[in-house]
Amino acid sequence: MIGRRTVLAATLALSVLACGSTPSTPRSPPGAAAVDAHVASSDGASIHYVAEGRGPAVVFLHCLGCNLHYWDVVAADLARDHRVVRLDLAGHGGSGGDRKVWSVEAFAGDVRAVVDAAGVDRFTLVGHSMSGTVALEAARELGDRVTGVIPVDSVLDVDARMPAAVRADVLSKMRGDYRGAIETQLPLLMAKHSDPRVVARVRGDALAVPPERATAILEAILGYREDLALDRLAMPIVAIDSDARPVALDHDRAHAPQFDARVIAGTGHWLMLDEPDEFARTLRDVVERIERGEARRRG
């Protein structure tokens, strides 16, 4: 249990590093046009987002230290027949970094601000790494507006809670030698066949994050109770995971019986970069199953 959560802590660092209605297809506003804009989050932070395409809506959240461009390939595919909304969470990409309190709830506020500004009422929510956690909180807060949640290499074992002393040690090491933590753990999270350009991109983005900000965000993620969030969610939850680390389906389903997972073999933590075409096909299949009401719901 501790080992699994410790690995998750490294993963999050290096990514820097109750809904009971019947399912319905999320739709974007008629004639929705491409948008590249900013909106104020609940605490005033400026949040950058882009929206493109027409059809059922899908909202994408990136990993810690990443940005909305990590979704470029899958966004281009889905935007052919979907309304695709991508955002830079506060402190990332083109969004403001002056947030005073870094919390899962604040990031969920970024999601609410963007979907309201984009005129998206109902949508499927995709979250990679730390944003799998953010997606759970956003789904809890937004309720029926979220028709399905797709964690990407995230929410692997909601019962694997890190003891406070271990968590404090992990965070202390990050604060003391952030670069060393990145350089040590990054190779463990990349696929063996990862393109050197992918490795360089992830490494550069990880090292560019201010250590105190990265540590504060990771502390918030590690302190969040994913198990309690799953207890309250009824919409389909279908993860897409790498085969590098097992997902504890029995633990996750004890809190959300509808929880399911797909695995893409031979990938590392950044599945969408390692195997972009296969990831896009898998994601489209999952999204469309949710939209057709074929994915399982609680009860």
Give 230's contacts (C-beta < 8 A, 6+ positions apart).
Answer: 136, 155, 158, 237, 252, 255, 256, 259
Token pair 């959240």 is at which residue? Answer: 61
pLDDT at 177: 94
- What are the angstrom distances between the C-alpha of 133 and each of 176, 227, 266, 273? 26, 10, 24, 20
pLDDT at 285: 98
CA 139 from chain centre, in angstroms, equals: 12
State the number of CA atoms in the 13 A half-sphere of 48 facing the CB.
Answer: 13
> pTM of the predicted model, to two decimals?
0.90
154 residue type, one letter: S
pLDDT at 291: 98
By the 10 Å C-beta count (0-12 exposed, 13-18 middle, 19+ buried), 44 is classed as exposed
CA distance 200 to 195: 9
pLDDT at 162: 86
CA distance 87 to 16: 16
Torsion sign over Cα 74, 79, 84, 88:
positive
Q: What is the mean pLDDT of each run of 10 residues along the chain (299 residues)?
A: 40 40 39 87 97 98 96 97 98 95 98 98 97 98 98 96 89 92 91 94 94 95 96 98 94 98 96 97 98 95
End-to-end Cα, the chain, rounded Å: 28
pLDDT at 161: 85
Domains detected in the chain:
2-291 (3.40.50.1820)
- What are the angstrom distances between the C-alpha of 207 and each of 54, 128, 148, 211? 36, 19, 33, 8
